Amino acid sequence: MLISEIIRKKRDGATLDEAEIAALVTGITDGSASDEQVGAFGMAVYFQGMEAEEAAALTLAMRDSGDVMRWDLPGPVVDKHSTGGVGDNVSLMLAPIVAACGGYVPMISGRGLGHTGGTLDKMEAIPGYSATPDNDTFRRVVREVGCAIIGQTGTIAPADKRFYGIRDVTATVESIPLITASILSKKLAAGLDALVMDVKTGNGAFMPTFEASRDLARSIARVSTAAGVPCHALLTAMDQPLARDAGNAVEVRNAVEFLTDVHRDVRLEWVTLALAGEMLTLAGLTKDRDTGFSVARAALEDGRAAEVFAKMVAGLGGPADFVERYEDHLPKAPLTRDIAAPVEGHVASIDTRGIGLAVVELGGGRRRSADEIDPAVGITGMIDLGQTVREGTVMCTIHARTEDQLDAAEKQIRAAYRIGEAPEQTDPVLEIIS
């Protein structure tokens, strides 16, 4: 089957069958399709789109281009994926909450790029934590603890890795069918029984508009279900940082304090428990999402989720006493600076992307995928939209390695916060798509 003919067919707006898509993915995987051909196919899809059945076939073919996990566990295997945001450390609490309720969560996560943080980078702020264990260790921790948060290996969906790299340099990343297949090929390779998506919308989100976020959520839910894995999607607000802290070690600290009830950001708690309730219901562990929400809250309140988190950290090489002594174990930046409100008023708006870029300025994020990050730097204590401030009220604290970093981050943060009239408040969970 000629790759050029498959490209021609899609270029002309026709629907590809499973055999044609399988042939294309084989070419992407073994190199028999050139970079030029893969790029041309991506551009054809960008302009012509794909039917749900085509996107499902592309998802499954890319999933099957590498290892696919198979589980033999006494409970359902379920996971969540987020399109990314700022101060979004939900996964760190969500996986142990669901595991404490009887689910098994093999969470394969990614690193941060651009203004959004990466779950993997956060976990690697924990000394000794192995985010890329061998498969035997991964399986053991999931089986014994109930969850494991790790990174993608080179044997998971290798076709997607090559395809995404070519899309990135050919201006075809922003294609909903291709985004859908990219996300799902990796998630379904984890051998899931059910999946819940957290699709962000707002000025800190990957998708530019609410309509685009909704279209992506619908596409992922539809294609995942067509591929044999039931999926629901929550549209959640990213018009301000989800947690009060943004960075790597600072978000881990926030997560431990959330799990142990030292402090819980209200919006973060709402989104986390809503996702947990949806996961438990979709996996068949509770009868409906309201019950799931309550069951998840109970596992959080009685300390079971914190116990699971501690066991996961220890099982993947981190300190056995991490939850009890997280302040001693987590790295700290040597310099801090409080940022005060310049005038009296309310927090009228927050440029969430700008906050994320401030973390990048500090060295806590990446401009390029090969960049090293500093796990200790970040921003803590960020105040929320609508909060009343007086002149001199501390809006947040910067944690940095150098004075130059402090200055650059302060400039970004001051530009990101606008003081004025109080905005209308909205629920952080905007819509649920099933």
Is-contact 85 116, C-beta < 8 A? yes
For this structure, is 82 an active site residue? yes
Is-contact 121 248, C-beta < 8 A? yes
How far apart are the C-alpha atoms of 84 and 238, rounded to whole Å?
9
How far apart are the C-alpha atoms of 139 and 375, rounded to whole Å?
27
> Could you report the per-residue pLDDT of 14-69, keeping only the tens digit for each?
999 999 999 999 999 999 999 999 999 999 999 999 998 999 999 999 999 999 99
Domain boundaries, the chain: 3-49, 78-315, 332-420
**Catalytic residue among 81, 214, 222, 244, which?**
81
For this structure, is 245 an active site residue? no
What's 31's DSSP letter? Answer: S
How far apart are the C-alpha atoms of 370 and 285, rounded to whole Å?
41
For this structure, is 186 an active site residue? yes
For this structure, is 119 an active site residue? yes
Dump strand ranges (E) for 316-374.
Answer: 335-340, 345-350
For this structure, is 9 an active site residue? no
Is-contact 197 232, C-beta < 8 A? yes
CATH class of 78-315: alpha beta
**Catalytic residue among 111, 167, 200, 264, which?**
167
For this structure, is 352 an active site residue? no
| Length of the chain counted residue by residue | 434
The domain made up of 332-420 is a member of CATH 3.90.1170.30: yes
C-alpha distance from residue 93 to each of 106, 147, 263 (Å)? 14, 11, 13
**Catalytic residue among 130, 172, 182, 219, which?**
182
Is-contact 323 260, C-beta < 8 A? yes
For this structure, is 185 an active site residue? no
How far apart are the C-alpha atoms of 427 and 131, rounded to whole Å?
33
**Catalytic residue among 59, 63, 64, 80, which?**
80
**Catalytic residue among 161, 186, 267, 353, which?**
186
**Catalytic residue among 29, 64, 79, 214, which?**
79
**Catalytic residue among 29, 65, 82, 352, which?**
82
The sheet that has 388-389: what strands, in order across it? 388-389, 345-350, 417-420
pLDDT above 90: percentage of residues in the chain: 84
| Residue 60, φ and ψ in degrees, nearest 5 | -65, -40
How far apart are the C-alpha atoms of 333 and 343, rounded to whole Å?
29
For this structure, is 81 an active site residue? yes
Q: How do the pLDDT tens digits run along the chain, 434 residues long? A: 799 999 999 999 999 999 999 999 999 999 999 999 999 999 999 999 999 899 999 999 999 999 999 999 999 999 999 988 899 999 999 999 999 999 999 998 876 666 666 888 999 999 999 998 988 999 999 999 999 999 877 788 999 989 988 997 898 888 999 999 999 998 999 999 999 999 999 998 888 799 999 999 999 999 999 889 999 999 999 999 999 999 999 999 999 999 999 999 999 999 999 999 999 999 999 999 999 999 999 999 999 999 999 999 999 999 999 999 999 999 999 999 999 999 999 999 999 999 999 999 899 987 666 678 899 999 999 999 999 999 999 999 999 999 999 999 999 999 999 999 999 888 999 999 98
Dump strand ranges (E) for 306-428.
Answer: 335-340, 345-350, 378-380, 388-389, 394-400, 417-420
> Could you report the per-residue pLDDT of 228-263, keeping only the tens digit for each?
999 999 999 999 999 999 999 999 999 999 999 999
